[in-house]
Structures are given as C-alpha cells and as structure tokens.
Amino acid sequence: TAWTALAENYQLRGSQQTKGSAAQLTDWNNAAAAYKQAVKLYVAQKGKAAADARIATLQSLAAVYSNQQDFAQGVKVYEQLTSLQPNNADFFFNMGTAASSGGDTKTALLAFTRYLQLAPKSTYAAAVKQWIAQNTTSPAPAPSSSKSGTPKPSPSPTKGGK
C-alpha cells in the first residue's frame, strides 16, 4: 500500500539521520504511524495475501519500535503477531527479547517459555534456558533472626537479562 511505502521511506530516512536526533525520532514516529495505517487497511481486507501483508507490516512496525528502543510498544506488536501465528517460534523469541530489554521479566518469561515449547532444539534454546534460569525467582528462604531479634534481609533475586 501507499502507507507501507511511506513508512519504509520514513524508516530508511530515519536510519540515515544522526543517531538519537530529533529528526531521527520524528522519522521513526512517522514510520510507525504509517505502518499502523497500513495494518488497519490489511485488517479490513480478506484473503491470504492481505493476512501475509499484515504480518509483514506488523514485523516492520516492531522493527521501528526496536530502533526507538520502545520495547513496550514492540511487545504489543508481538502480541498481535503471536495471536495471528501462535506457532511461530520466532515471534515469541522476539517478544521475549523486547520484553526483557524493556524490563518486563514476567512477559519475557512467558514468551521465552512458549518459544522453547515451539523450538526446543533451536540455535538459541540453550541461551534462552539460561536466561530463564537466571530470571526465575525461587522462594526466598525464611528470614533468620540475629541475636538482636531483627530479621536479616533475604538476598534479592537478580532481575534483568541483558
């Protein structure tokens, strides 16, 4: 669509702007807005070609949000993609990566767990399993009391995953 072409041009121009500049941010915001308009058009259309175009456009929109480091919006786009293709392991991996980058450990854990269900022998499976192990909180031990009767704080689990 014309919206997709416009978005691609804004995205290209944004990638050529000075990193972090107002001009780059404006171009990427305009790209996101144009991709959203294209998605609306594809939702209204029927058939496999429109469905495929919608998915491709949503992937491009997710890339724009990644460029902007707007991980929360990226996760929302991957939620749409995973609802459209619930057996697409890559979408779950990308959603987990965006959620982890944005500090949303709960969503990342859910997405990465589904990714491993879909692609247990993938290239990234070992790294994903390691990330899950590092970011899964186990029940904290019961606080022990010191001689003064003041409970000792339990060590806090590490969150993140970068």
Residue by residue, pLDDT tens for the chain (162 residues) are 899 999 999 999 999 999 999 999 999 999 999 999 999 999 999 999 999 999 999 999 999 999 999 999 999 999 999 999 999 999 999 999 999 999 999 999 999 999 999 999 999 999 999 999 999 876 555 444 444 333 333 333 333 333
pTM to 2 decimals?
0.81
Q: What is the pLDDT of residue 139?
A: 56
Rounded to 5 degrees, φ, ψ at 136 are: -95, 120
